[in-house]
Amino acid sequence: MQAKNPRYRLGVDVGGTHTDLVLLDTRTGTFAVEKVSSTPKNPALGVLNGVAKFIEKGIAPGDIEFFAHGTTITTNALLEMRGAKVGLLITKGYRAVQEVQAQARDGNLFDYFYEKPAPIAPQSLTCEIPERADYQGNVLAPLDREAVRAAARKLRDAGVESIAVSYLFSFMNPQHEEDTRAIIREEAPGLQVSISSEVLPRIREWARLSTTLLNAYLEPVLVRYIAHLSKGLDDAGVHTQQRFLMQSNGGVMPFTAAIEGGRTVHTLLSGPAAGAQASAYLAAADAGRGLVTLDMGGTSADIAFIEGGVPLEVTEGVIARRQIDVPALDMTTISAGGGSIASIDGGGFLTVGPQSAGADPGPACYGRGGTRPTVTDADITCGYLNPDYFLGGAQKLDVAAARAALDTEVAKPLGMSALQAAAGIRRIVDMRMADEVRVFAAKRGVDLSTFTLLPFGGAGAVHAAAVAEELGMKRILVPMRPGAFSALGLLCTDVVHDYIRSELRPFADVSPDHAEEIFALLETRARQELLAEGMKIEDAQFSRELDLRYTGQGYELRTPLDGLFVGALDAPAMEAARARFDQRHAQIHGHAASDRPVEVVSYRLRLRVSVPKYQPVEEGPPLHPRAVAEAQKGARQVYFDGVTPLDAKLYERERLDIGAIIHGPCIVEQFDATTVVNPGWSARVDSFRNLVLEREA
């Protein structure tokens, strides 16, 4: 049973190598951290193992009132193409849309051998349904219900697990899709059904179809995972109904919302989004500078920008070469993690990734049977990691195994020492991350010299100084718990749902009453879903946006309406929206055309329900600060350049008081991460117990 006065909030982030858990005590404001090995075959087992560790330490499971989870379950299923068997119902005459897709071509535009990704629903499982609505939603041809019944039986007998339904202009009139879903549930009640008017009621046929197909492909995977995880939590005694999943937009949604309503695709960047959200919330003091986040875990490195305390956001994207147009934090991911495998390619050159050793067997130094050299093996060989203090000493690292793997797989084939091979691996991975940040910044007009680098994840702070030096950045902010930072971010966000409705119309022809009517429809749907999720309507906050473009443009800009009206939209608010669009166009594209007519493309609504969050506490310096020397626990030789060893002092982070300053070369160790302070850098503990690294003059 749920305790009468629950006191704990739990955030869980599943990574490729480790699963991180943060347990917040709401009475004291303190939190505890656990790291357990991830279980790739069934990630829920790793989560439950971590929960069990807290229970073993005396935490009453009934006292956990809130459970938030960032997961890569759908991302991995898409990357590995192990989703459900999918069938597709589409308007008669349009079955080729999935084959044609769009004109965009990833990679080399002049590649004559280019092949589009295999269709999620092959032509053999695609059924044309006689029906038709026009661009205004008027029914031109009624839905052929018998055709739907026949298609449902055919797909059921073919063994499909999930059906996608995408009819022409259904975003203007969803009735045919809704009727189709009802018929499918009569004929094949065990199948999942995704309808485009729910998943993405937005203009642009291929984007809408692609997103709906992805939802259908991944929904059974997520439903099974949530069912397994929910049962495990129940069996462990964690009976709270406040169970949430992280979304790509930086907000969370209840488990129930992920199962129904076509929201599975909103979890595709669930894991990385938590870290970016934590950066925006917990590093608010640095928001004026702007932040570049570097989340380097076991399998990849995720990069995002925070400006004005808010992560940059996009509404269109591509994941694993698949078009997906849902709101998401603007992030990029590269295969540069601690488990990334180093090898010699066909040309005899050293490469790192994209393959990863993952959690099983993991890097060679883990001693679990891995024989391939990884970035972590290179780090420990160069002296950056303490073999006796990994995860606070809970896991011993085998330096000899790391050197042997490097020697066999890299050093001997290239005619160099294991140490030189390790330095080369580090150099490659550091350069790759720096190059990705540089390109990402150039595309968004970001001046990196004014930004702070915020590294986290198990390996982020190990490589941060080298990446910052390559980028010319002079300041690094390492949070208090870098290894569990993404999990902590799950306790720093709100419930967020996004809604959209496309209706292409000249802006001059859109009256305030008409716009208000469409937003009212979106708000009605939002309130209905909120009630179904067991949340209070009075806690809801709504924000509105219009997607606008100059007439004839092929793209639009999101234009917020916040602050332009009170109560309901009126004529001055619409005029102000047009002016705001011109300003945004000039800001983003360098020019505006205030004399040109504008079109409304879509109406957007964001629902936000605030939930209690972790509150970082600013502290003053202690009255009797400990000497920095008291935090020192030894020294060891570290090869910063791969050639010359330097004596680096070792510090225990927990023993560094606020205001303490240390100078590189040195290494700061803690349970969940290691921070490397390169020569020429200093580190200071700020009032939030962040470690601020700065390049010395």
Q: Whole-angstrom Cα distance, residue 514 to residue 525?
A: 17
Dig out the tokens for 422 from the structure: 């390790």
Give the model confidence (pLDDT) of 218-273 as tens digits.
999 999 999 999 999 999 999 988 899 999 988 888 888 777 678 899 988 887 88
Dig out the tokens for 658 from the structure: 């606020």
- Whichever domain contains 105, its CATH number is 3.40.50
543 and 559 in a single domain? The answer is yes
DSSP 213-275: HHHHHHHHHHHHHHHHHHHHHHHHT---S-EEEE-TTS-EEEHHHHHSSS-GGGGTTHHHHHH
If one compares 4 and 89, the residue with the highest pLDDT of the two is 89
Give the model confidence (pLDDT) of 144-159 as tens digits.
999 999 999 999 999 9
361 upstream amide cis, omega within 30 of 0:
yes
User: Which range marks the domain in which residue 248 is found?
Assistant: 8-78+223-267
The last residue of a domain, from among 267, 294, 329: 267
Report whether 582 contacts 646 (CB < 8 A).
no
Give the model confidence (pLDDT) of 4-51 as tens digits.
567 899 999 887 678 889 999 988 888 888 888 888 788 899 999 999
Residue range 622-637: mean pLDDT, rounded:
91
Decide if 257 is inside a domain.
yes
119 and 196 in a single domain? The answer is yes
256 and 149 in a single domain? The answer is no
511 and 592 in a single domain? The answer is yes
Residue 81 is predicted with a pLDDT of: 84
Place of tokens 């839905």: 143
Report whether 486 contacts 29 (CB < 8 A).
no
198 and 231 in a single domain? The answer is no
Q: pLDDT category, 284, cuts 50, 70, 90?
A: low
The last residue of a domain, from among 219, 253, 276: 219
104 and 139 in a single domain? The answer is yes
Decide if 441 is inside a domain.
no
Residue 1 is predicted with a pLDDT of: 45
Decide if 397 is inside a domain.
no
Measured N-to-C along each axis, helices 43-56 and 205-236 cross at an angle, to the nearest 10 degrees, of: 30
Residue 287 is predicted with a pLDDT of: 53
pLDDT exceeding 70 applies to what percent of the chain? 97
Decide if 158 is inside a domain.
yes
581 and 679 in a single domain? The answer is no
Q: For residue 323, give every residue at least 6 positions away whose Cβ sits within 8 Å of its Cβ, in sequence order, or none.
A: 101, 102, 206, 207, 210, 211, 316, 317
Decide if 669 is inside a domain.
yes
Report whether 687 contacts 619 (CB < 8 A).
yes
632 and 602 in a single domain? The answer is no
Which of 194, 312, 276 is CA-nearest to residue 479?
Answer: 276
102 and 126 in a single domain? The answer is yes
Decide if 470 is inside a domain.
no
Report whether 658 contacts 685 (CB < 8 A).
yes
pTM here? 0.85
The last residue of a domain, from among 219, 245, 279: 219
Residue 406 is predicted with a pLDDT of: 94
- Whichever domain contains 576, its CATH number is 3.30.1490
Decide if 335 is inside a domain.
no
Q: DSSP secondary-structure letter at 622?
A: P
99 and 204 in a single domain? The answer is yes
Residue 616 is predicted with a pLDDT of: 83
Decide if 531 is inside a domain.
yes
- Whichever domain contains 32, its CATH number is 3.30.420.40
109 and 206 in a single domain? The answer is yes
211 and 235 in a single domain? The answer is no
Total domains in the chain come to 4
Which of 143, 137, 155 is CA-nearest to residue 92?
Answer: 143
Residue range 617-646: mean pLDDT, rounded:
89
